[in-house]
Structure formats: C-alpha cells, structure tokens
Amino acid sequence: MHILAIDTSLGAAAAGLFDSDTRTEIAAESMAMERGHAEALVPLIGRVLARAEPAGLDLKRVVVTVGPGSFTGLRIGIAAARGFALARGVPVVGVSTLSAYAAPFIAANDSSIVAVAIDARHGEIYFQVFAPGGRTMVSPRALSLREAARAIGSGPVRLVGSGAPLLALEAWSLGVSAVVADTQAAPDIAWVARLGAAAQPEEALPRPLYIKKANATPQEAAALPRR
C-alpha cells in the first residue's frame, strides 16, 4: 500500500511516499522553514510524487500531522491532505505530532519513558509523556516548563522535540533524571507515514489538535455593527 505523508505542523514542510507492505521509502523531501508552508508544500508534494511515477504509483492513503503545532501550518497541511485524498479517492488520516516525535524512540527502546516537548513559545511547551511500550502517561497539553518537569516524575526519562533542551534544564533543576535524546524541529516524515499506516481512518480523523488558544484575537473595536 502506497502512503503519502504530509507534515507542516512545525518548523518544516515535508512530504514522503512510502510502501507500507515493504516498509520502504519511495521518495521523500523536507524543507526547514518557519513560514511559507503554503507556497512550498504543493510543489514539494509534486516533486515527491514525480520521483515515484517511474515505478508506478498505487496511492491508497494520505496521512497528515494534525498537531499540536502552528495554527496556520496545521490548516495548510490538513487542507492539502484532504485535497489530494479527494482527488485520488482515498482516505485521509490524522496523526498526532507528539506521537510522531515519540514513535522512533519507543520503537528503539520500549523499556523507558519518553516525554515529548515542543516549544510553544512564551515559556510554554506542548507536552506528552509516553510510558514504556507507548502507553500515554500524560495526555497532550500545553504547560509551563516547571509544570511539565513536575509532571514527568523522578525519571529516568528521554526528552525529545524542539523544546527538549528547555525542559531538560527545568527537570535537572528539580533533580529529575533526564536525557535529551533528540531536538529536531519537526518529526521524521517516515514515522508520520508508519503511524498513519497503522491508524483506522474512522478513528484517526484529519482534524486539527489545538491545545492552546491562538495568540491573535479579533479586535472588537474594528468590527462593523450588525443590522
């Protein structure tokens, strides 16, 4: 089964085409960026699909990260995924950004705790803790660094994500046994695809996972009066 995976939730625009039967990557591309996902994504997907055409394309599913992450980035990725899925007549599934970060570390060593920390700015992180084997210990939420460090417990714990160094400093100040295992700005697109391949389309819906309010709010004074 060929799977197209898309991620624009954080500091990259990424797409990849994978064969879930052989667990191999057919083509993939990732571009580090904080802004400009909308302009970059569709051409990027086009290049990935073009590299796969000589071998034949049998797309059966589209997978997209649904957050937490950038409000704008999530909307761009989900809209693109829905569009490609509709055009091809295939299902689209959503994958948590936090789960995609944690998955390779759980797969490599399922005997220790993994805490994912994504820098949400303004002293907060998007945060989730996975027990050995991948069971959720602390559900996705936005917390201050101190709150997250306390939620980890005494450790030992592996920290992953863009906010891992910040959380590590806070955890160490509390005497928590923690190791920074990864600080990527975005999850590996291959693991987005793997999680999407295992997901059930009727359960893993492509809806944004917002766990923090938007920084921008409408200006009431500028609103036109209703008649």
Name the one residue in this structure whose structure tokens are 């759980």.
106
220 phi, psi to nearest 5 deg: -65, -35
Give dist(CA 127, CA 163) in Å, integer: 9
| Average pLDDT taken over every residue of the chain | 90
Per-residue pLDDT tens over the stretch 195-222: 999 999 999 999 999 887 554 444 444 4
How many percent of the chain have pLDDT more than 90? 77
How many percent of the chain have pLDDT more than 70? 92
Using a cut of 0.95, tell me whether the model's pTM lies above it. no
Give dist(CA 222, CA 180) in Å, integer: 46
pLDDT-derived band of residue 55, with 50, 70 and 90 as boundaries?
A: low
- 82 pairs with which residues across the strands? none
pLDDT of residue 220: 47
Q: Is the pLDDT of residue 86 over 50?
A: yes
pLDDT of residue 224: 47
pLDDT-derived band of residue 227, with 50, 70 and 90 as boundaries?
A: very low
The pair of structure tokens assigned to 120 is: 């949400």
State the average pLDDT over residues 179-201.
95
Find out whether 200 and 178 touch, Cβ atoms under 8 Å: no
pLDDT of residue 109: 82
pLDDT of residue 218: 45
Q: How many CB atoms are located within 10 Å of the residue 186 CB? A: 26
Helices (H), 94-208: 97-108, 145-152, 164-173, 189-198
Give dist(CA 180, CA 108) in Å, integer: 15
pLDDT of residue 129: 97
pLDDT of residue 162: 94
